Structures are given as structure tokens and as C-alpha cells.
Amino acid sequence: MATAKDMLFSPLRHLRDEMNLPRAARESRKLDSKGLPMSDPGLDEVINACITWLCRAQDKSLSADDGAARNYSLINGWSSSYPETSGYIVPTLLDYADEFANAEVRERGKRMLDWLVSIQFPEGGFQGGKIDQQPRVPVTFNTGQILIGLAAGARRWEAYMEPTKRAASWLTDTLDEDGSWRSHPTPFAEPGEKAYETHVSWGLLEAAKVAPGHGYEDAGLANIRWAISHQKPNGWVAKCCLDRPDAPLTHTLGYFLRGVIEGYLFTNDTALLDAALKTADGLLNAIDTEGRLPGRLDSDWQGAVEWVCLTGSVQIAHCWLLLWQITGDERYKQAGFNANRYVRRAIDVNGQKDIRGGVKGSFPVDGQYGKYQYLNWAAKFCTDSQMLERKIRTSE
């Protein structure tokens, strides 16, 4: 509980912290305090700007290894490469290259794959954290995210088939009998079982598509069904956050939901679709007409924070649009469009190069998720969701 002394000096501490921020961080915070701009840069402008920013993240990484820098910070500048998210950035680059016939972006995706293969552990797993963080140990979640990229590479080039199989086999072999992974948690999050590891299962399903007959899909589906057992009747999910299971991030809820949807698309099992719809409907209760979705949600789908996790917003928007394609329910399409537009309005497509096309961890920028940072996975998920919206609008 705050004391009278704490309350007296809190404004002074806030002022001191504000004055110690670099100018760029102070200006961004001041701008965000005025609210989102009214103007929407548009789908094509944002897609191209996000891809350009991801390419810059590859070029500016402090580790200079062809991975993507984890983030650009308004306080500390560019970081070293982040294997986990570089893994699932790969299919975004390759899909963009296919859609727009961009050979340079395709080559960048291939270079990123080559770097990932070079850091794979002999048994098939991948490390957690940034490339220069310790301890360097194999981690379930990070391996699953990189597997998504390896499978996308194996679909195009034979050279990535063997690394794909090694990563998928390691995940399959380390799954517990009840469908949860417990033996190789990340050292960079709170301990405990994680329902959002359905996003690892998605990696196994992608591996099963390019390398069938190894039981990868059985392991992935076992985990998805384990995770669904922690879903509440209203669709909210326990054990679904990095650090606050009572109020999970929309980011980790988005992971959970996408994994369940991919499980349904792989199997056509209506039980998986029903589970996805329960969570998707719960999330509909939390978004407003502007497209604002609070960054953390409690078990009644009420916002637990004032800031928005932009990453989670576009992940969930993508899931809603996928569910519209499956069900034809217009609520999902409208919510997906609204959430996408909200995030587009938060993106600067004309600023200086280090932030142009980048996506902040939070809006406002001083929110507690990726505070004062532009995150590479935020730009990745934003690109994916805007590209799906573009496809839907083009087909209408």
C-alpha cells in the first residue's frame, strides 16, 4: 500500500524519470498522450512499410548475423537478433515475396533461415532469448516458433527439410504424456505450464504437412487438447500468460487462439472450432467500435490495463478474419477490420528510418508491454493480418 510519503514524492519521481528519457522517447510519449491520429495510412502503405522496417531490423541487428533485431528502442537503439521471432518472421517475408514478386525479400528470408539453421542445437532444439543472452539452452516455445519458419523454408527448398525434422522430432520426443511441455521452459519468463504453447503445436502441424508420417501432428494435437482443458466456459483461458495468468496479454491469448484455429484447419474437428469460437466470442466483448482492445484481459473479458498491446491486437484480428473465412460470421470480419485499422493508425509511415513502419509494443508508447520499443514480432503480425485483410477486400 502506498504511504503518504510515496504519494507526495511520486509526481517528483515521475518528472525525474521523464527528464531522464532521451528526447525521442519524450516526444513519442507526448504525442501518444494526445491519442491516435485520425488518419489511416491504408493497407498497402502499412504492409510495405512494415516489411521495409523488418528488413532494416535484419540489417541493423547489433549481432550482424542475418537474424532480425529483437527491437528498436527509443532509449537504447537497436538490439541483437532474436532467434524465436526471426523464425516466424521468415514465412512473412516469403509470403510477401510471393505476393509481390519481390526477389530481394525472398533472399532475405532465405538468409534468415540459414542463420537459424547455423544455431540449431544438435538434438534439434533452439535457445531462448536474444542470441547473446545466457543461459543458452534449448527451449520448447522458441523451438516451436522457429519450426514455423523452417517448415515454410522446407516447402520451398529441400535444404531445410532435415533441420525441420530435427526440430519437430525434438518437440515430439519432449512432450509429456498428458500433452503439456514441461521439461524445457524458457528461463526468461515465469515458470509453469503455458496454454499458449498451442502456437508451438502449430509449428508441428506445419512440419507434418511437409514431412508426414512422423507423428508430429499427433503431438501437436495432443497439446492443443491439453490447452483447451484450461479454457473456461466463457472462452477465457487460464495458464495463458508470460507473467500474469490472472490477466493474460492479448499477445498470448492470440497465440493460444491461432494454435487452436490451426488445429481445426488441420483436422476439421468441430470440437476445436467450438473452442476457438468461444475464445473469439469472448474477445469480441472486449473490443470497442474504434478497434481498441485492452492489452490485458481478466477472466470476465474486462480490460485490466489502460494501454493496448498492439501485437496482440493484430494477432487477434488475424484470428477473427480466419474465423470469418471459416464461418461467414460478419462479426468476426468487422472486428478484424476494426482492430487492424486501429493498429494502422498507430504506425508512422513517414518518420525517420528506425521507426518508419515499426510497430510499438504498446499504445501509448509507455505502456508496460515493450515499453518505448518497436518490436520485430509486432511488425510481423501486423503484416500478416493486413495482408489477410487485403486479400479479403480484394476478393469482395
What is the C-alpha separation between 14 and 172, in angstroms, rounded?
A: 49
Handedness of CA 264, 267, 269, 272 (dihedral sign): negative
Closest CA to 378 of 336, 347, 354: 347
Task: Judge whether 207 and 164 are in contact, CB under 8 Å.
Answer: yes
Map the chain to HEC letters.
Answer: CCCHHHHHHHHHHHHHHHHHCCHHHHHHHHHHCCCCCCCCCCHHHHHHHHHHHHHHHHHHCCCCCCCCECEEECCCEECCECHHHHHHHHHHHHHHHHHHCCHHHHHHHHHHHHHHHHCCCCCCCCECCCCCCCCCCECHHHHHHHHHHHHHHHHHCHHHHHHHHHHHHHHHHCCCCCCCCCCCCCCCCCCCCCHHHHHHHHHHHHHHHHCCCCCHHHHHHHHHHHHHCCECCCCCECCCCCCCCCCCEHHHHHHHHHHHHHHHHHHCCHHHHHHHHHHHHHHHCCCCCCCCCCCEECCCCCECCCCEEHHHHHHHHHHHHHHHHHHCCHHHHHHHHHHHHHHHHCCCCCCCCCCCCCCECEECCCCCCCCCEEEHHHHHHHHHHHHHHHHHHHHC
If you search the block for the grid coordinates 528498436, which residue do you land on?
A: 72
Cα–Cα distance, 349 to 162 (Å, whole number): 39
> What is the set of domains in the chain, with CATH numbers?
39-395 (1.50.10.10)
pLDDT, position 17: 62
Between CA 285 and CA 265 the distance in angstroms is: 25
The angle subtended at Cα 293 by Cα 385 and Cα 191, nearest 5°, is 85
Burial class (CB in 10 A: 0-12, 13-18, 19+), 39: exposed
Per-residue pLDDT, 15: 53
Predicted pLDDT at 213 = 98
- Close Cβ partners of 6 (under 8 Å, ≥ 6 residues apart): none
- List pLDDT tens digits, range 135-154: 999 999 999 999 999 999 99
Residues of the chain with pLDDT under 50: 1-10, 12
Instruction: Give the angle 122-111-163 at the CA atoms, nearest 5°.
Output: 25
Size of the chain, expressed as the number of residues it contains: 396
* pLDDT in the model for residue 16: 56
Angstrom CA distances, 126 to 27, 144, 172, stand at 38, 9, 14
Q: Which residues pair with 249 in a beta bridge?
A: 296
CA distance 60 to 24: 18
CA distance 61 to 71: 9
What are the backbone angles phi and psi of residue 154, rounded to the nearest 5°?
Answer: -65, -25
Give the C-alpha separation, 250 to 297, whole Å. Answer: 7
Rg (CA), the chain: 20
Query: pLDDT value at position 7?
Result: 42
- pLDDT value of residue 2: 39
CA 135 distance to own-chain centroid: 23
CB 58 within 8 A of CB 67: yes
182 within 8 A of 230, measured Cβ to Cβ: no
Q: Which residues, in sequence order, are bridge partners of residue 231?
A: 237
